[in-house]
């Protein structure tokens, strides 16, 4: 048998770790809180990264790379920024065997070092917009860590753009939020709610933070990406001015936006099951695995039958593995490929071969079907499309089922009353409620239930009337509250 995976209903956290470790996605590091990304985990990240990079370039962005060491004084230039990141900073005090004149920070994010350069690069409105993205690692000294979801060092991309006007910077912020939303849904099969963060939850140094929020199978929220409208905060802190079309000297307007390797954690938690990883076909290192079944004399013919099919599948551009390894039984291999999350498995043995057929098995539903071998490649391609769509719809239906409209404080407390260990026992989910806009009101709920304001959904702000579900004051927004990762 393949490695045992703890059931979600027994221990959701352990289930998650079992999948990460047994599917060989990541491993622990000698430094607490850091993560080794193993080849299979990295292959998923590469597919995700390449698609996102393509979408950034299609919207006019270019890549660059800035150093990971940032002078401590840079972070102090933007007051809110340094306050927000100070507790998580890793600081280098020595280099070349000597104490440094000024400590250097391992970047927690790169606004400061990038805006220091933008001061030199931007002189006139002709230099704008400046649309730069960086793929990099960042370090945030987190106390409680979990592979992929929260690690001291992680991989991400950070876009940093500069614009002539507030309107253009805000448009860019929203354009990138939409790039994230469509990428999450179309490519990751991850349904998300797009919305605005409250002031207490926004990025340190931003005027406004937009987010995409997903619901995991234990009904907790996971922030899957953020896009920030920075106003002129960093331009003022780093004295970045440009000559406007009217000939005036003005501060530049800015946005920044990022997603990270935590998306891999989101994928696992959204789609996987008690047999292991479930991957959307778009992200699977291999879309199809062929497992031949043979005994004695039938071996050469069955292998040739399987290899011909593998060639036909590859000729359609599909990513195929032909698993003819004889050291493990077919049953062991079935379980192993299920654990690894391969979307479609093809089984073929002597009797299938005689009948000119093969067996196709879907990873998402476990459904089996027998098809003629000539029809198999086209059917596999069709199944991959169906699996991609089903994963998105299944996750969306789960979120809808676990989103409740809440009218009063008592209802809210009841909704978050019990933090069950497993999915079957847990309460909570997304509580949609009217909110007054007060930070104290929001903090009160967090103290009592650990639920935070995830976002104010952008498509749900029309016709707000009534009172705050938490304090009874006049409502200003409709918000989603949830416990989160």
Give the footprint of Zn ion on this chain (CB under 5 A): 436, 441, 468, 470-471, 473
Calculate helix-pair angle for 39-58, 166-186, nearest 10 degrees: 140
Determine if residue 296 is left, alpha or beta; phi over 0 gives left, psi from -120 to 50 gives alpha, anything else beta. Answer: left
C-beta neighbour count of 3 within 10 angstroms: 13
Q: By three-state DSSP, how is residue 290 classified?
A: strand
We find the least distance from the C-beta atom of residue 406 to Zn ion, in angstroms, to be 13
Calpha distance 46→178 (Å, rounded) = 21
CA-based nearest residue to 453, from 266, 210, 201, 203:
201
We find the least distance from the C-beta atom of residue 195 to Zn ion, in angstroms, to be 18
CB nearer Zn ion, residue 228 or residue 454: 454
We find the least distance from the C-beta atom of residue 321 to Zn ion, in angstroms, to be 55
Which residues lie below 8 Å from residue 406, measured CB to CB, with a gap of 6+? 412, 415, 431, 432, 433, 469, 481
We find the least distance from the C-beta atom of residue 456 to Zn ion, in angstroms, to be 13
Q: Classify residue 310 by its DSSP letter.
A: H
We find the least distance from the C-beta atom of residue 442 to Zn ion, in angstroms, to be 8
CB nearer Zn ion, residue 397 or residue 443: 443
CA-based nearest residue to 413, from 453, 469, 372, 465:
469
CB 252 within 8 A of CB 124: no
Residue 105: phi and psi, rounded to 5, are: -100, 135
We find the least distance from the C-beta atom of residue 444 to Zn ion, in angstroms, to be 8
Which residues lie below 8 Å from residue 87, measured CB to CB, with a gap of 6+? 141
We find the least distance from the C-beta atom of residue 145 to Zn ion, in angstroms, to be 33
CB nearer Zn ion, residue 62 or residue 443: 443
C-alpha dist (Å) from residue 35 to 315, 340, 446: 37, 19, 29
Residue 358: phi and psi, rounded to 5, are: -145, 160
């Amino acid at each position: 048998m393949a490695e045992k995976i703890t059931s979600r209903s027994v221990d959701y956290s352990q289930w998650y770790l079992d999948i990460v470790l047994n599917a060989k996605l990541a491993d622990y590091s000698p430094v607490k809180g850091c993560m080794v990304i193993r080849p299979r985990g990295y292959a998923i990240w590469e597919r995700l990264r390449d698609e996102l990079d393509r979408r950034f370039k299609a919207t006019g962005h270019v890549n660059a790379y800035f150093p990971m060491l940032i002078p401590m004084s840079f972070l102090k230039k933007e007051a809110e920024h340094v306050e927000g990141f100070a507790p998580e900073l890793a600081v280098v005090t020595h280099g070349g065997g000597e104490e440094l004149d000024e400590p250097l920070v391992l970047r927690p994010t790169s606004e400061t070092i990038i805006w220091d350069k933008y001061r030199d690069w931007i002189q006139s409105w002709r230099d704008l917009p400046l649309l730069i993205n960086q793929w990099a690692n960042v370090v945030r000294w987190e106390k409680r860590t979990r592979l992929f979801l929260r690690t001291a060092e992680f991989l991400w991309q950070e876009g940093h753009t500069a614009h002539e006007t507030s309107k253009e910077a805000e448009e860019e912020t929203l354009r990138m939020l939409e790039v994230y939303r469509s990428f999450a849904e179309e490519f990751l099969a991850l349904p998300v709610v797009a919305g605005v963060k409250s002031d207490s939850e926004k990025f340190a140094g931003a005027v406004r933070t937009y987010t995409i929020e997903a619901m995991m199978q234990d009904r907790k929220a996971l922030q899957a990406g953020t896009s920030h409208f920075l106003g002129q905060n960093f331009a003022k802190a780093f004295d970045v001015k440009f000559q406007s079309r009217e000939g005036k000297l003005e501060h530049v307007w800015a946005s920044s936006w990022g997603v990270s390797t935590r998306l891999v954690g989101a994928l696992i938690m959204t789609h996987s099951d008690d047999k292991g990883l479930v991957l959307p076909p778009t992200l699977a290192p291999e879309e199809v695995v062929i497992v031949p079944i043979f005994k004695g004399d039938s071996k050469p013919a069955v292998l040739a039958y399987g290899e011909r099919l593998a060639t036909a599948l590859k000729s359609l551009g599909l990513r195929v593995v032909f698993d003819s390894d004889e050291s493990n039984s077919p049953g062991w291999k079935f379980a192993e490929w299920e654990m690894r999350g391969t979307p479609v498995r093809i089984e073929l043995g002597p009797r299938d071969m005689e009948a000119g057929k093969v067996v196709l098995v879907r990873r998402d539903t476990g459904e089996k079907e027998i098809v003629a071998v000539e029809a198999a490649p086209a059917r596999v391609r069709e199944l991959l499309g169906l699996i991609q769509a089903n994963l998105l719809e299944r996750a969306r239906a789960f979120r809808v089922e676990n989103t409740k409209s809440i009218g009063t404080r008592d209802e809210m407390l009841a909704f978050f009353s019990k933090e069950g260990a497993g999915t079957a026992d847990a309460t909570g989910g997304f509580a949609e409620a009217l909110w007054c806009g007060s930070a104290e009101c929001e903090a009160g709920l967090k103290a009592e239930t650990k639920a935070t304001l995830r976002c104010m959904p952008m498509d749900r702000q029309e016709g707000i009337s009534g009172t705050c579900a938490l304090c009874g004051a006049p409502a200003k927004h409709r918000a989603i509250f949830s416990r989160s990762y």
